């Protein structure tokens, strides 16, 4: 297993390039077909934060290890993993999406297992990166309470709706934006912001303790991942989900809401609209195409639902933004 | 800047916030200083009387990027609000990039609600912001050329959303800076991204040598320096720029987006409007100042630009 030491994702990136014999240009690579498919890129931002993005489906296992060091950095990792059909059933969970916080004082593994689609955005940061922007009280709360707790327990957090827009914008083969560096940095900082705010909110409500085992949380995360994986098809029914998660429908509904903040169907719908908006903003697809991609055969239903969520029609987005080409 | 407003409105600043006095309006202006070196003023107020803010140019090299969402009382028909540009900041919702090297005005009529943010940053800050970007040089070049022209674009849903997130931010005070700084950086990112797209749409060409560009900047300055006298003729300008007349005409248009004379005329009318709005001059004085000996010619030209007569503007 290849190893690296510094809290610098350019190092991990070079190792990935080396391990998969892929040619890297400008810290971007397409995985050599002999090893799998997908892409990876890394960047060091002006703030010193280094970020790594990978979307891969390997045909051979690849693993990397960061050795413990005393650099005092944190690593925040957003990852979605799904087992492709036909792959070995080596994994108990065939779907997983999580947010994980680690510290450079411990070893850490980055795995790209064969047969598993892995989509990850990860970045290193240290306390200086947010000492300037957050008040001392929250800072102390993070550094002395939340962070150590999360790290010790190896605690995985669910990927909530609010992260998805930024993740989607970063999980592309190449960020093609005129202000590329600022674009990446802003999205990374937003991810960090949402993460901190979520932790902070949790503090506020910690009095009413939620009783849920880690295993149940994992099962709910699986439900969530299934729900937002593909909008072209109708979502799984509550019954199906309750079977998959081995929970009663009532428990599933209640627990899902307490973990993700919205009832199951509303959550699904919100993510569907986020996806639709993101697709429209790309300017690559017509409204009709986007409607179909998020599972609407009836365009006026799509338009109305969109309006309900954002207060304006998809066509208004196109016209007002002036950046979109649409050809219905 | 906030202190200046406090003086003008004869109120005191409390902490970083200034409450407008009853006579002027209801609402606040709030200074924010961000750890990344940006300064901004957040405001949300409704004016109780017509209010004209002006800023006189200074030689320091700062930029201001304003996002103003303006809600005009309904009695005012849309048609009465002419399109504004350049030295006069729009009274409609808009995003406006200006330089402290130029005069600026902001006029809001009675009853108008203004929600906005004004971000102030130095040239050095911008240099640093664009440092790592491939298109940084191109944007800087564009700005140095366009600064005297207008840089403003409509305020759309996305901008409004960021603005609402900044102004309505209900978060814990300890997290406020984080949230505001991130949103402000998003606003800047979006604004400059769009400037860049606009640039590409216009086929903004950097084929011209730096020498040529400097010459054109000279010409532009010469053109808008003094409107009370006839502008130099094309052959004369061409001689000054050491270019052939046709090269001058083509490259001027390429860079400033308008033919030489139209550019001159547009700025002349903008100046007229700014002077009228200041209410310090009569229509006649403005006409004279801008080189119109025949006032009806002035009125016609003004109407052509703004769809209303100078007297209508004053009559409001």
Reading the block at residue B23, the tokens are 């006579």
Please, which pLDDT band fits residue B79 given cuts at 50, 70 and 90?
very low
d(CA B181, CA B188): 11
Confirm if B166 and B183 have CB atoms less than 8 A apart.
yes
- Residue B83 is predicted with a pLDDT of 39
- Is the Cα torsion angle B302, B304, B309, B314 positive or negative in sign? negative
State the smallest CA–CA distance between residue A217 and chain B in angstroms: 27
Q: What does the DSSP assignment read for chain B? A: -HHHHHHHHT--EETTEEEPPTTTEEEEEEEEE-TTS-EEEEEEEEESS-EEEEE---SS-EEEEEEEEEE--TTS-GGGS----TTEEPSSSEEEEEETTS-EEEEE-TT-EEEEEEEEEEHHHHHHHHTT-TTHHHHHHHHHHHTTS--EEE--HHHHHHHHHHHT--S-HHHHHHHHHHHHHHHHHHHHHHHHHHHHHTT----S-HHHHHHHHHHHHHHHH-TTSPPPPHHHHHHHHTS-HHHHHHHHHHHHSS-HHHHHHHHHHHHHHHHHHHTSS-HHHHHHHTT-SSHHHHHHHHHHHHSS-HHHHHH-
Place of tokens 């970083």: B16
- Residue A322 is predicted with a pLDDT of 36
Please, which pLDDT band fits residue A27 given cuts at 50, 70 and 90?
very high
| Phi, psi values for residue A54, rounded to 5° | -140, 140
Confirm if A10 and A41 have CB atoms less than 8 A apart.
no
Contact B177 A135 (CB under 8 A): yes
Please, which pLDDT band fits residue A239 given cuts at 50, 70 and 90?
very high
DSSP category for residue A67: P
Please, which pLDDT band fits residue A207 given cuts at 50, 70 and 90?
very low
Q: What percent of chain A lies above the pLDDT cut of 90?
A: 31
Of A101-115, A190-204, B60-74, which one has max mean pLDDT?
A101-115
Nearest to B200 by CA among B268, B135, B253, B245: B135
Of all residues in chain A, the one with the smallest CA distance to B36 is A132
List the single range of A247-256, B58-67, B200-209 with lowest mean pLDDT.
B200-209
d(CA B285, CA A267): 64
* Disruptive mutation site among B172, B186, B187, B198 for chain A (greatest number of A CBs within 10 Å): B172
Contact A181 B133 (CB under 8 A): yes
| Higher per-residue confidence, B10 vs A50 | A50
- Residue B78 is predicted with a pLDDT of 39
Neighbours of A327 (CB within 10 A): 8
Of all residues in chain B, the one with the smallest CA distance to A319 is B156
Enter the ipTM: 0.70
Please, which pLDDT band fits residue B92 given cuts at 50, 70 and 90?
low
Nearest to A84 by CA among A57, A45, A109: A57
- Residue A311 is predicted with a pLDDT of 78
- Residue A323 is predicted with a pLDDT of 35
d(CA B115, CA A57): 48
State the smallest CA–CA distance between residue A290 and chain B in angstroms: 19
Mean pLDDT, residues B164-189: 82
Contact A323 B182 (CB under 8 A): no
Q: Classify A66 as helix, strand or coil.
A: strand
Mean pLDDT, residues A256-269: 87
Q: Does B201 touch chain A (CB under 8 A)?
A: no
- Residue A87 is predicted with a pLDDT of 54
d(CA A111, CA A120): 11
Read off the pTM.
0.70
State the smallest CA–CA distance between residue A105 and chain B in angstroms: 26
Confirm if B103 and B274 have CB atoms less than 8 A apart.
yes
* Disruptive mutation site among B38, B142, B175 for chain A (greatest number of A CBs within 10 Å): B175
* Rg, C-alpha atoms of chain A: 20
Contact A178 B181 (CB under 8 A): no
d(CA A185, CA A174): 14
- Which of B157, B175, B193 is the closest to A177 by Cβ? B193
Please, which pLDDT band fits residue A319 given cuts at 50, 70 and 90?
very low
Query: Could you report the per-residue pLDDT of B98-118, keeping only the tens digit for each?
Result: 777 666 667 777 778 888 888
- Nearest 10 degrees: Cα torsion A105, A189, A15, A176: 180
Q: What does the DSSP assignment read for A122-163? A: EEEE-THHHHTTS-HHHHHIIIIIIHHHHHHTT-EE---HHH
| Higher per-residue confidence, A290 vs B158 | A290
Rounded to whole angstroms, what are the CA distances from A121 to A53, A132, A260, A318? 5, 24, 20, 29
Residues of A whose CB is below 8 A from B178? 130, 133-134, 193, 196
- Residue B87 is predicted with a pLDDT of 35
Residues of B whose CB is below 8 A from A312? 157
* A44 has pLDDT over 80: yes
Q: Classify A267 as helix, strand or coil.
A: helix
- Which of A133, A183, A312 is the closest to B181 by Cβ? A133
Mean pLDDT, residues B201-216: 67
Rounded to whole angstroms, what are the CA distances from A239 to A113, A244, A262, B131? 31, 9, 18, 54
Mean pLDDT, residues B269-277: 80
d(CA B106, CA B70): 11
* A327 has pLDDT over 70: no
d(CA A261, CA A259): 6
Rounded to whole angstroms, what are the CA distances from A33 to A1, A233, A304, B5? 20, 30, 43, 64
Reading the block at residue B62, the tokens are 């700062």
Cβ-based neighbours of A207, under 8 Å, separated by 6 or more: none
Reading the block at residue B219, the tokens are 């010409």
Nearest to A220 by CA among A241, A236, A205, A239: A241
Mean pLDDT, residues B131-143: 81
- Which of A130, A312, A320 is the closest to B178 by Cβ? A130
* Disruptive mutation site among B178, B184, B185, B199 for chain A (greatest number of A CBs within 10 Å): B178
* B267 has pLDDT over 90: no
Q: ∠B58-B199-B210 over CA atoms, to 5°?
A: 65
- Which of A138, A177, A189 is the closest to B174 by Cβ? A138
- Residue B23 is predicted with a pLDDT of 79
Residues of B whose CB is below 8 A from A133? 35, 177-178, 181
Q: Does B161 touch chain A (CB under 8 A)?
A: no
- Is the Cα torsion angle A259, A260, A261, A262 positive or negative in sign? negative
State the smallest CA–CA distance between residue B207 and chain A in angstroms: 19
The separation between CA A21 and the C-alpha centre of its own chain, rounded to angstroms, equals 26
The secondary element (H helix, E strand) that includes residue A230 is none
Query: Could you report the per-residue pLDDT of B174-185, keeping only the tens digit for each?
Result: 788 888 889 899
Mean pLDDT, residues B239-268: 85
Query: Could you report the per-residue pLDDT of A55-105, keeping only the tens digit for each?
Result: 999 998 888 999 988 888 999 999 988 877 655 555 445 567 889 898 888
- Residue A183 is predicted with a pLDDT of 92
List the single range of A245-254, A294-303, B8-17 with lowest mean pLDDT.
B8-17
* Disruptive mutation site among A182, A309, A323 for chain B (greatest number of B CBs within 10 Å): A182
Interface size A-B, in CB pairs within 8 Å, comes to 86
The separation between CA B153 and the C-alpha centre of its own chain, rounded to angstroms, equals 10
- Residue A321 is predicted with a pLDDT of 41
Reading the block at residue A264, the tokens are 């199951």
Confirm if B105 and B278 have CB atoms less than 8 A apart.
yes
Contact A190 B182 (CB under 8 A): yes
B174-202: buried (b, 16+ CB within 10 Å) or exposed (e) per residue?
bbbbbbbbbbbbbbbbbbbbbbbebbeee
Contact B175 A135 (CB under 8 A): yes
Residues of B whose CB is below 8 A from A186? 182, 185-186, 189
Residues of A whose CB is below 8 A from B175? 134-135, 138, 196-197, 200
């Amino acid at each position: 297993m290849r190893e690296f030491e510094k809290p610098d994702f350019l190092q991990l990136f070079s190792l990935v390039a080396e391990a998969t014999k892929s040619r890297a240009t400008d810290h971007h690579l397409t995985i050599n077909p002999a090893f799998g498919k997908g892409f990876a890129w890394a960047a060091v931002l002006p703030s010193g934060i280094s970020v790594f993005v990978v979307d891969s489906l390997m045909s051979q296992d690849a693993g990397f290890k960061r050795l413990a060091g005393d650099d005092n950095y944190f690593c925040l990792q957003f990852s979605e993993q799904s087992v492709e059909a036909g792959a070995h059933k080596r994994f108990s969970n065939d779907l997983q999406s999580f947010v994980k916080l680690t510290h450079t004082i411990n070893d850490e593994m980055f795995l790209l297992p064969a047969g598993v689609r892995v989509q990850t955005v990860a970045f290193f940061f240290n306390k200086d990166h947010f000492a300037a922007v957050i008040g001392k009280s929250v800072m102390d709360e993070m550094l002395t309470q939340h962070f150590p707790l999360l790290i010790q327990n190896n605690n995985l957090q669910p990927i909530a709706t609010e992260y998805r827009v930024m993740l989607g914008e970063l999980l592309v083969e190449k960020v093609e934006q005129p202000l590329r560096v600022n674009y990446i940095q802003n999205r990374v900082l937003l991810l960090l912001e949402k993460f901190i705010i979520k932790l902070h909110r949790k503090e506020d409500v910690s009095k009413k303790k939620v009783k849920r085992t880690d295993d149940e949380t994992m099962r709910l995360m699986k439900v969530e991942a299934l729900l937002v994986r593909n909008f072209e098809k109708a979502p799984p029914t509550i019954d199906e989900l309750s079977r998959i998660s081995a929970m009663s429908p009532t428990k599933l509904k209640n627990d899902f809401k307490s973990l993700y903040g919205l009832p199951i169907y509303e959550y699904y719908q919100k993510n569907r609209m986020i996806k639709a908006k993101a697709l429209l903003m790309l300017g690559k697809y017509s409204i009709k195409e986007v409607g179909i991609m998020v599972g609407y055969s009836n365009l006026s239903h799509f338009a109305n639902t969109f309006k309900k969520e954002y207060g304006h029609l998809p066509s208004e987005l196109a016209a007002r933004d002036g950046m979109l080409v649409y050809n219905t | 800047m906030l202190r200046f407003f406090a003086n003008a409105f004869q109120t005191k600043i409390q902490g970083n916030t200034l409450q407008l006095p009853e006579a002027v309006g209801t609402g606040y202006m709030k200074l924010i200083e961000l750890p990344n070196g940006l300064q901004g003023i957040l405001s949300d107020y409704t004016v109780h009387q017509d209010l004209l803010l002006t800023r006189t140019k200074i030689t320091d090299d700062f930029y201001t990027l304003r996002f103003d969402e303006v809600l005009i009382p309904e009695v005012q028909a849309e048609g009465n609000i002419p399109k504004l540009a350049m030295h006069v900041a729009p009274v409609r919702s808009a995003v406006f990039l200006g330089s402290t090297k130029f005069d600026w005005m902001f006029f809001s009529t009675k009853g108008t609600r203004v929600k906005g943010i004004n971000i102030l940053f130095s040239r050095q800050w911008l240099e640093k912001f664009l440092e790592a970007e491939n298109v940084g040089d191109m944007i800087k070049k564009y700005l140095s050329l366009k600064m005297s022209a207008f840089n403003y674009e409509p305020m759309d849903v996305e901008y409004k959303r960021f603005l609402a997130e900044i102004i309505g931010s209900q978060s814990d005070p300890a997290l406020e800076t984080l949230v505001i700084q991130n949103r402000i950086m998003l606003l800047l990112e979006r604004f400059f991204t769009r400037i860049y797209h606009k640039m590409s749409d216009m086929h903004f060409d950097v084929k011209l040598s730096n020498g040529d560009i400097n010459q054109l900047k000279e010409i532009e300055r010469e053109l808008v320096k003094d409107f009370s006298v006839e502008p130099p003729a094309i052959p004369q300008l061409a001689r000054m720029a050491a270019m052939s007349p046709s090269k001058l005409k083509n490259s001027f248009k390429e860079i400033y987006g308008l033919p030489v004379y139209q550019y001159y005329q547009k700025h002349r009318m903008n100046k007229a409007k700014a002077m009228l709005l200041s209410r310090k001059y009569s229509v006649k004085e403005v006409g004279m100042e801008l080189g119109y000996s025949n006032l009806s010619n002035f009125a016609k030209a003004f109407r052509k630009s703004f769809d209303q007569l100078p007297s209508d503007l004053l009559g409001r």
